[in-house]
Chains A and B, each alone.
Chain A
Amino acid sequence: DAGVTQSPTHLIKTRGQQVTLRCSPKSGHDTVSWYQQALGQGPQFIFQYYEEEERQRGNFPDRFSGHQFPNYSSELNVNALLLGDSALYLCASSVFTGTGSYNEQFFGPGTRLTVL
């Protein structure tokens, strides 16, 4: 059973460019969350997708957008890249069972984005 997979592993972009990161959830999972982990810091929640809709969003600008496909995989898009966007981007998947219940999130290995 494959776990959460992310591509690419590493990416180098220049300021002002746009980037797309991809995530395939663990088999049987229908919910995908994205996190940004800057160097030396803990992960910060970007947003969560369920049923192809953004369900909740953290404190990130509109330059960060996402998409979820019918097969539950997801993309994270970042426009107009800034130097401060350099980070490890983590994807986590889970099974939605309704609010108020616990659903464990399983993390992928991440995509390391470097903005020059």
Chain B
Amino acid sequence: AQSVTQLGSHVSVSEGALVLLRCNYSSSVPPYLFWYVQYPNQGLQLLLKYTSAATLVKGINGFEAEFKKSETSFHLTKPSAHMSDAAEYFCAVSENNNDMRFGAGTRLTVKP
């Protein structure tokens, strides 16, 4: 069965510092992997997706993620945090594209 685990329910960084949000997945077939961002009282916005093409995926707002099959990981990074990056981030996995399994989320706080 497909699942994801997000390590760290809260991450706090200073403005300008590296952002690293961790995600490990479990899947019986080559998965599709996603990172979504959710701002307060809003729906989910897709940051980036891995669909079996390049293992390093670049997304919106300067975010990127690397698919590492050997580590079953899909960590999200951004070189320099901005105050506007403060939000809830969700990693998700899908095997058949009919349903996505989401992690519990990581709340990112950016300190000035």
- Complex: A40 Cα to B40 Cα, angstroms: 11
Which of A1-32 touch B at CB < 8 Å? 4
- Chain B interface, >50% SS class: loop
Cβ-closest chain A residue relative to B104:
A42
* Range, interface on chain B: 20 to 34
- Complex: A106 Cα to B42 Cα, angstroms: 13
Query: What's the least CB distance linking A62 to chain B, in Å?
Result: 18
Say yes or no: B46 contacts A104, CB within 8 Å. Answer: yes
Say yes or no: A108 contacts B32, CB within 8 Å. Answer: no
Say yes or no: B42 contacts A43, CB within 8 Å. Answer: no
Say yes or no: A45 contacts B97, CB within 8 Å. Answer: no
Complex partner residue of B105 from A35, A41, A45, A109, CB under 8 angstroms: A41
Say yes or no: B97 contacts A102, CB within 8 Å. Answer: yes
Kindly list chain A residues whose C-beta atoms are within 8 Å of the C-beta of B84. Answer: none
Query: What's the least CB distance linking B112 to chain A, in Å?
Result: 25
Q: Mark B76-100, 1 if CB is under 8 A from A, else 0.
A: 0000000000000010100011111
- Complex: A58 Cα to B36 Cα, angstroms: 20
Kindly list chain B residues whose C-beta atoms are within 8 Å of the C-beta of A99. Answer: 96-97
Kindly list chain A residues whose C-beta atoms are within 8 Å of the C-beta of B104. Answer: 40-42
Known contacts: A42-B90, A43-B90. The answer to whether A48 contacts B43 by CB under 8 A is no
Kindly list chain A residues whose C-beta atoms are within 8 Å of the C-beta of B97. Answer: 94, 99, 101-103
Chain A residues engaging chain B, CB cutoff 8 angstroms: 4, 33, 35, 40-45, 48, 55-56, 58, 90, 92, 94, 99-110, 112
